[in-house]
């Protein structure tokens, strides 16, 4: 028997771990679905004595890093056996989805690019051991924003659970572990529950601190003023803490106005940078103290976004110790402060060399600021600029969090695919534009298709011109 290769076919059996968690069971269900598409039959689950694929946790301390996994090949009862071990739940999730991609040929963006896996009768792959590398960024994720293209598939609003599951599956296939599941959506939509059940950490929009309901929705007859109605704000914050305290959450702290604008648009008596910064600092400190009283040591982040960047740089805002400062681009690729109307200071949005951390990045694969929009189109930014800006940010120490505004995913597959290897596991090579374009052609047109050949010719003509 050939022991240098591992063979999958319709008779392949998988042995799952005992009592798998919800995230691991979900990943197993995805693998079984993909297996059925490829071999046109259901995957058989069985015990270790006859299973060709064995999945389990790392009980021998072989793996050092959280969220890591390893694939080992061994001989058992005259056959080659694939053994997948994971350090923890997310390690197993990543490992199972790794097998879906490498063994079954499932593209990470298969759903959004309409690229179903190719049916096969047998798959033969080299029996080469594999171990995942440590992640370059601790928290890596997406902000699903202005989800206009995720609604309308059904009469259900907000988008139903099966739509969210496709978004989160793609993020997990790319190695993500963090998500903002939508913008100002009804709390009964189930999107946060689906994300948690699939193994993702939750975090929040910068206008929804602690994941609290927007003030003007909860109290439409009251002024959105922390000075006059601080107790009502605290009521919403406390409810949000209690609602999410049993989930994996990276808690957002901040204070902006209703509708994602500076708070003083609704509270104009704060008319100087000093007064504005003092109120923001006081509100954030109160959120932090309320959270730590319930969940000591809870991880927190805050966004240096728009007017917050300017006030912070001017020394008017202070943050509690240990809160990750998330530096934001301007929506068009550059790590500088965004404009507000015609006010555009373009203040550098990166930590200084001597600035206390931790730090992270909020980066836009899509942007809509009511003046110019890439919401339904590709980001009009060169691949080289995008990669350079991210690399520069990481080198400046903003590598604890990477949160990418992915919009509705499908219009931005190219940009998201470029960002993924930059923020992925350590020691990966810098993405090459030629490889990125080839991957895009394959997704859009299929290998060897007429459209793919035409796209390749256009690329070569552009390079020659």
Q: What is the mean pLDDT of each run of 10 residues along the chain (465 residues)?
A: 81 96 98 98 94 95 95 87 97 98 96 94 95 93 90 85 96 96 83 96 93 92 93 97 97 90 90 96 98 98 88 94 94 79 72 91 85 79 88 93 94 87 59 62 61 65 58
**What is the distance between the alpha carbons of residues 429 and 412, in angstroms, rounded to a whole number?**
22
The pLDDT value recorded for residue 414 is: 87
Distances 5 to 73, 125, 128 between C-alpha atoms, Å: 9, 5, 8
Task: Determine the Cα–Cα distance for residues 163 and 167; give it in Å rounded to an integer.
Answer: 7
What is the predicted pLDDT for the residue at 1?
44
Cα–Cα dist 455/434, whole Å = 12
User: How much is the pLDDT for 194?
Assistant: 97
């Amino acid at each position: 028997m050939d022991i240098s290769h591992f063979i999958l076919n319709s008779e392949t059996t998988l042995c799952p771990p005992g009592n798998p968690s919800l995230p691991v069971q979900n990943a197993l269900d995805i693998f079984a679905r993909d297996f059925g598409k490829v071999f046109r039959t259901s995957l058989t689950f069985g015990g270790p004595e006859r299973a060709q694929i064995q999945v389990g946790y790392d009980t021998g301390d072989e793996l050092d890093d959280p969220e890591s996994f390893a694939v080992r090949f061994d001989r058992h009862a005259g056959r080659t056996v694939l053994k997948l071990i994971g350090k923890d739940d997310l390690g197993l999730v990543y490992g199972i989805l790794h097998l879906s991609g490498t063994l079954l040929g499932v593209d990470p963006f298969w759903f959004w690019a309409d690229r179903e896996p190719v049916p096969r009768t047998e798959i033969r792959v080299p029996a080469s051991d594999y171990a995942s590398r440590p992640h370059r960024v601790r928290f890596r994720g997406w902000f699903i924003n202005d989800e206009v293209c995720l609604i309308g598939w059904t009469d259900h609003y907000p988008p139903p659970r099966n739509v969210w599951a496709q978004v989160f599956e793609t993020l997990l296939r790319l190695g993500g572990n963090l998500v903002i599941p939508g913008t100002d959506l009804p709390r009964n939509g189930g999107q946060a529950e689906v994300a948690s059940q699939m193994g993702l950490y939750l975090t929040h929009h910068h206008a929804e601190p602690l994941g609290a309901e927007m003030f003007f929705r909860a109290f439409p007859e009251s002024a959105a003023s922390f000075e006059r109605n601080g107790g009502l704000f605290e009521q919403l914050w406390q409810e949000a803490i209690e609602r999410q305290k049993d989930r994996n959450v990276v808690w957002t702290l901040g204070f902006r106005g209703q509708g994602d604008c500076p708070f003083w648009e609704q509270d104009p008596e704060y008319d100087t940078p000093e007064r504005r910064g003092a109120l923001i600092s006081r509100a954030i400190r109160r959120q932090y103290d309320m959270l730590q009283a319930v969940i000591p040591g809870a991880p927190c982040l805050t966004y240096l976004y728009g007017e917050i960047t300017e006030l912070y740089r001017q020394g008017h805002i202070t943050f509690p110790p240990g809160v990750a400062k998330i530096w934001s681009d301007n929506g068009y690729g550059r790590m500088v402060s965004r404009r507000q109307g015609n006010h555009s200071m373009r203040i550098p949005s990166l930590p200084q060399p001597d600035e206390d951390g931790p730090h992270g990045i909020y980066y836009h694969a899509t942007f809509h600021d009511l003046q110019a929009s890439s919401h339904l189109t590709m980001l009009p930014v060169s691949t080289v600029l995008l990669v350079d800006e991210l690399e520069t940010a990481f080198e400046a120490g903003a590598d604890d969090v990477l949160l990418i505004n992915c919009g509705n995913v499908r219009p931005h597959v190219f940009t998201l695919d470029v960002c993924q290897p930059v923020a992925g596991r350590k020691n990966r090579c810098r993405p090459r534009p030629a490889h990125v374009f080839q991957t895009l052609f394959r997704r859009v047109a299929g290998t060897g298709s007429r459209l793919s050949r035409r796209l390749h010719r256009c690329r070569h003509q552009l390079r020659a011109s």
